[in-house]
Chain A
Amino acid sequence: MLRLIVVCALFSVGLVSCYKDVEIEQPISFSKPANFPEPHYNFQNNELTQQGFLLGRKLFYDPILSKDSSISCGSCHQQFVAFAHSGHRLSHGINNQFGIRNTPGIFNMAWNKNFMWDGGVNHIEVMPTAPITNPVEMGETMLNVVAKLNKSNEYKTQFKEVFGKDVIDDQQLLKSLAQFMGAMVSSDTKYDKYVRGESGGKLNEDETAGLKLFQQKCASCHSTDLFTDYSFRNNGLNQNFSGDNGRAHITQLAEDEGKFRVPSLRNVEVTAPFMHDGRFWRLEEVMKHYANGVQKSPTLDPLLIQPTDKLGIPLTDKEQQQIVAFLKTLTDHEFLDDKRFSE
């Protein structure tokens, strides 16, 4: 009898252990959602594997990437707000230094052809070099980060499992992070289910009205189900942009002065504050800006100049409300809670 009890106990323990392992690591895979265009990055020369993805995730949350080991990617890119920075207009890096631009969210990066508010980064794999080496962010050098990783037996083992080499180099580091970030797809919002005719996709009256208004008045820039055309535009935030000239910083062209990337509007319900400098705390303020806050400058987007020469987009109070209601259907709660992307 005692033997039976012991055997049952051991069996149960065994079962529980197995169950825990299976529950913690769900497999990662990448596929194009039915309502999305083709991705730009398809993990060419960087095959997405479970091990590569997990290594990238570990690195994403590891402050070892920063000079004084105080800042990780996850410090400013928080999953619960779609990897933007909750409640921060600007973010602080090492030694409490601030940057000049609002932290963007991280999702659907495989569809980006370039990155950052000014498009200065041209490939997902080299994206991390920017925050890692920016003196006001992580303040490190790529050489030193790689040296630190090579001092860790745990990292050397994990990197070797993925890349088969005895020494960790920067390409391996960057590819791992690209696997993690590239695999994070946000495409299961109420809106997506509505578009794809899946259950859970019923829009209410305001949301439906908001969608129609959005398509008429916003979708020329915030286009496709990615909710951006990835272009750089001056949306009338300032009369002059001497503080931050946006895209012109990269192209050095006068015509790009004050132009910033059209951001995806997915998850905007949680990614406040808004705009490249985080000046608007609420979606209602954004609507007010477009309705009657747009400022003139030489490179103001022509789509924001009405035939009457009035600036902005004609939006009544009711219409603004309805668009905000629609925008809230773009929140992907499954993505925000997905344990595969968590620390």
Chain B
Amino acid sequence: MKTNFLSIAAFAAILLTVTISSCKKDSMEGTGGVEYELEHYWASTAFALNTDYVTSETQTVKLSKFKYLVSNFRLVKADGSEYAVPESYFLVDASVASSAKIMLKEIPSADYTSMKYIVGVDSARNTAGAQTGALATTNDLYWSWNSGYIFMKAEGTSPQNSMGISYHIGGYSGANAAQKEITINFGGEKLTVRDGKEVVVHAKADVKTLFNGFDVSTTSMMHMPGAKALQLAGNYAQMFSFEHLHN
């Protein structure tokens, strides 16, 4: 009789504890991490440096360098409200595998339906003097003679241009502003950020799009803001697409 009562009490206690801890897991307290994992492709093939690929203009390119800056990450809820991740500046370099995994830390627990960021660096940080991290001048993405960040670098060779190709895309203000806003919509799925948990957003970066409608035979070096940079920026605005989530 005593044992039964104790068992029931124990069982009830366990049930209560489990229920309470489950409630805690679904509570919107605290913060979690969001890993943004970019997978680089050329159309439907995995992208690699020093490999021949054919562009939409049926020209061939082989890139020895492909790196870019992304920044100003925001996580968006169903009601349209946004959480802006402070100091979110990242350098993605095709030669550094780990750089394609972007860690967004201390994201408030919530359900998010999309993510926004820009390719490039906002104007304010282009005029704020010496910076660190992804924005250090030692990262080879800075124009010293015309102060400002190079948002994307694509360098390599092409049989269509004997001088090689070297495209440095930038321009931070006015008519030459080459920053592009990217929206990664989770397609109806919810990214459930919870306290102490890490979730993952997988996206595809299709390097082929950079060369859409671009004739590499007429442009070897492009190292300044302007019309050509804007044309390529218009392309990298289309480069990123949602794949799936891991909640």
- Whether chain B is bound by chain A comes out as yes
A142–B148 Cα distance when bound, in Å, is: 15
Whole-angstrom distance from the CB of A57 to the nearest CB of chain B? 18
**Alpha-carbon gap, A252 to B129, bound state (A):** 23
Partner of A125, one of B130, B136, B138, B225: B130
State how many residues of chain B have any CB contact under 8 Å with chain A: 22
- Whether the Cβ atoms of A129 and B144 lie closer than 8 Å is yes
Q: Does A174 contact B (CB under 8 A)?
A: yes
Does B140 contact A124, Cβ atoms closer than 8 Å? no
A interface, by DSSP: helix, strand, loop or mixed? helix
Give per-residue flags for A173-190: 1 if the beta carbon is below 8 A from chain B beta carbons, else 0: 011001000000000000
Count contacts between A and B, CB distance < 8 Å: 68
**Interface residues on chain A, number (Cβ under 8 Å):** 27
B130 & A174 in contact (Cβ 8 Å cutoff): yes
| Residue from B139, B147, B225, B226 in contact with A123 in the complex, judged by beta carbons closer than 8 Å | B147
Do B147 and A126 touch across chains, with their CB atoms under 8 A apart? Answer: yes
Q: How far is the CB of A336 from chain B (nearest CB, A)?
A: 28
Tell yes or no: B128 within 8 A of A by CB. Answer: yes
Bound complex: CA of A159 vs CA of B208, how far in Å? 44
Contact with B along A112-131 (1 / 0, CB 8 A): 00001000111111100110
Q: Chain B nearest CB: distance from A137 CB in Å? A: 10
Is B56 among interface residues, defined by CB-CB distance under 8 A?
A: no
Q: Which residues of the other chain, B, contact A124 by a CB distance below 8 angstroms?
A: 129
List of B residues within 8 angstroms of A169 by Cβ: 132, 136, 138
Say whether, besides A142-B138, A143-B140, A134 and B145 are in contact (CB < 8 Å): yes
On A, residues with C-beta under 8 Å from B are: 45-46, 116, 120-126, 129-130, 132-134, 141-143, 146, 169-171, 174-175, 178, 250, 252
Q: List 15 A-B contacts (CB under 8 A).
A: A120-B146, A121-B147, A122-B148, A123-B127, A126-B130, A126-B137, A132-B144, A133-B144, A143-B138, A146-B138, A169-B136, A169-B138, A170-B138, A171-B131, A252-B226
